[in-house]
Amino acid sequence: MTIPSAHCKAVAKHSLSVFGGDLKIQAYYDSSKSISVDLLTTVDTLHLGVKSIGTIGLSETPLFTDEGEEFATRVELCAGALSEELFWENAVASVAFDIKKRQRYVMPGDVIVGVFNEYLKNPKMPHIYLTIPFMWNGACFPELKFASLKVNWLQCIAIHEEERVFIEKFGGDAFDDLLSDQEINTLDRNRLPVDLSSFS
């Protein structure tokens, strides 16, 4: 059994302070078994039947800009999902693996393409969109500061292909506004795409 680093212990403690509840931690591995990430999960603290998921230790990986400079912040991922949707943990782990392998910086508004194709047959929403966390703590997921680095969280939500195209064209801020204005329930795996008619 691997002993968690002081960094990972601090990340887990910070996440739990935001999520609340009793935690479960499990290690996930990529297909080659060469990369792993721990996920923290708590249940029923957001709403009954809803779980909170957070990566632990992704922020030990430095990320770099296209110019090769280290990005100013490290990242961890979080997600809210219905408790019975067991594929969500695998999807979040897959995004973490992608970030670890590429080591390219990620920001709110980025899309990780085709994640759910690995775990669901013909998913209505195959992609994961990264955004500022909005489900917990009054839409405030505080930054975690260490002596030599800082860590911020990005929330994963599932999106439709037409939403991915919209984000590519108009940007994440415009998409976030539509999600908010139309009061989209991002926990609903069968939700319709946002109404994009105002941008057509």
Query: Three-class SS of residue 193?
Result: coil
Structural domains of the chain, count: 1
Q: Is residue 62 part of a domain?
A: yes
Q: Is residue 50 part of a domain?
A: yes
Q: Is residue 168 part of a domain?
A: no
Q: Is residue 199 part of a domain?
A: no
Q: Is residue 173 part of a domain?
A: no
Q: What is the pLDDT of residues 94-143, one digit of tens each?
A: 999 999 999 999 999 999 999 999 999 999 999 999 999 999 999 999 99
Q: Is residue 154 part of a domain?
A: yes
Residue 96 structure tokens: 């973490």
What pLDDT score was predicted for residue 170? 95
What pLDDT score was predicted for residue 110? 98
79 Cβ contact list (under 8 Å, min separation 6):
52, 53, 54, 88, 91, 92, 155, 156, 157
What are the per-10-residue average pLDDT scores of the chain (200 residues)? Answer: 84 96 94 92 94 97 96 97 96 97 96 96 97 95 95 98 96 96 95 87
What pLDDT score was predicted for residue 1? 46
pTM, two decimal places:
0.95
**Residue range(s) defining the domain that contains residue 64:** 6-158
Q: Is residue 126 part of a domain?
A: yes
CB 111 within 8 A of CB 188: no
Q: Is residue 167 part of a domain?
A: no
What pLDDT score was predicted for residue 17? 96
